[in-house]
Chain A
Amino acid sequence: MKLVRILGLASALGLGITAWLVFYWAPLEQAMGFVQKIMYIHVPSVLVCYLAFFISFLASVGYLWKRTEGYDVVALCSAEIGVIFCGITLVTGAIWGKPTWNTYWTWDARLTTTLILFLIFVGYLLLRRFVEFSEQQARFAAIIAIIGFLDIPLIHQAVTWWRTLHQTSTLFSMKPGGAIDDPLKWMLYVAMVAFYLFFAYLLTKRIQLERQERELRRTLAALE
């Protein structure tokens, strides 16, 4: 209980500070201008989304291995949050793409990979919906998460060869010329920390909720 509250306060504070800094402190990017500010949502969202899917994958492996319900709860909750942030990434990317590339959507490698990832995990959530709540549901979902995760490198390679337009990741590139300016970089780091805190808050809160839900379902089943 306490952890959730602390995380909630910290992420609210972090997001508030980020919003303030983005509009009052971070300088305008030379080439792209004001639209570039959406990067402070776009980039952290995609990083949260990757982390969430990775946690979901690890928890799925853990579930198939140990068969403890806790792993299943984590896998489900993390995948749900991942899908939301994946959606945010796609939408903010489209908003940014219109003024910059002059198109909302383009079949670029990273866009396409993210979209496919989104579809795979939406499928995962649908499967959870369609299978009765049971140990079987947990097993099936874990298999999809594992298979989906294994597919990511292949998808990425395939769509990269297929066509590419997206700028390379500037945040982590070590080249002096390609890297972005210092204040912009620090701004991104702050936004990232805020988003990760927010993710941690959402995840713990959602896990708590899911546990209570399952508890309730069991109690009701026992009463019948």
Chain B
Amino acid sequence: MIRAILAILRKDLTLELRKAENFIAMMFFAVIILLIFSFALPPDNDNHKNLAPGVFWVTFLLSGILGLSKSFALEKDLGCMEALLLAPISRGAIFLGKMLGTLVFLLLMLALLIPLFSLLFYPEALPYFFEVLGLSMVTALGFSSLGTLLSGLTTDVRFKEILLPILLFPLLIPLLLASVEILAGIFAGRGFQGELDWLKLLVGFDLIFLIASYLTFDFVMEL
């Protein structure tokens, strides 16, 4: 099981690292969204202090969904999905491998996004780099669990580019709310201590949807 997961993870990482087109597109898109926010919102720093957590996570959601929608596209294009399904491994292993692949790239993106975010939008974010990265791990886990499930589900569907966010974003609202509140606490200098309830909710979200997605993924991938 573990070996199967790691094999799929390695395959995804190798493919992505060789070309990195998906990652670069995702990163570039995040920068553009940050620019748009900077232009669209009033420029004084007081406002940015209040807006920073929301802007950060909206940027993450919008660019993250770009990466998600490509997660299964490659498999479909080359008929690789059938081969994966024929392999003597469980569907759960495919799910976990794919999910971890997405998670790794989301975290990479977030690690780069934090300095860019402080450069382009909110300079006071950089000192909290490690706290924000820690929070990112928890948020990205929930995002990639549900995201991988729904991305797998919508690969064959017409209008999948629009259907994926329509299905995913309402489901992610608890995750977004919790992440925004915790990030506001971090920026206010309270670390994670101020928002322990929100952190519990966030971890609960991760666990529930990691398990639920793992279990229901079997039904997505039937030939």
Contacts and interface: CB of A to CB of B under 8 A. Distances in A.
B170 A130 contact: no
A151 interface: yes
Interface of chain A, helix or strand or loop or mixed? helix
Interface residues of B, number: 30
Given A139-B222, A143-B220, A127 B167 contact: yes
Nearest to A141: B153
Interface stretch (B36-44, B76-84, B208-216): B208-216
Given A127-B157, A155-B174, A143 B149 contact: yes
A162 B176 CA distance: 11
B171 A120 contact: yes
Given A64-B219, A150-B212, A143 B170 contact: no
Interface in B127-173: 146, 149, 153, 156-159, 163, 166-167, 170-171, 173
A87 to B, nearest CB: 15
B171 A126 contact: no
Interface in A123-137: 123, 126-127, 130-131, 136
Contacts of A147: 146, 149, 171, 209, 212-213, 216
A193 B216 CA distance: 36
B50 to A, nearest CB: 15
Contacts of A139: 219-220, 222
B121 interface: no
B166 A154 contact: no
Interface residues on A, range: 20 to 34
A139 B220 CA distance: 7
A172 interface: no
Given A120-B170, A142-B219, A154 B208 contact: yes
Q: Which of B146, B171, B177, B208 has the most CB of A within 10 A?
A: B171
A12 interface: no
Interface string B193-209: 00001100100110011
A154 B212 contact: no
Contacts of B166: 123, 126
B153 A143 contact: yes
Given A143-B219, A162-B177, A157 B163 contact: no
Contacts of A157: 174, 201
A64 B219 CA distance: 8
B178 interface: yes
14 contacts: A64-B219, A126-B166, A127-B163, A143-B216, A143-B220, A147-B212, A147-B213, A151-B174, A154-B201, A155-B173, A158-B177, A161-B181, A161-B197, A162-B181
Given A147-B146, A154-B201, A161-B198, 14 more contacts: A126-B166, A130-B159, A131-B156, A139-B222, A142-B219, A143-B149, A146-B212, A147-B209, A154-B174, A154-B204, A154-B205, A154-B208, A155-B173, A158-B174
List of 5 A-B pairs having minimum Cβ-Cβ separation, nearest first: A158-B174, A154-B174, A119-B170, A158-B177, A123-B167
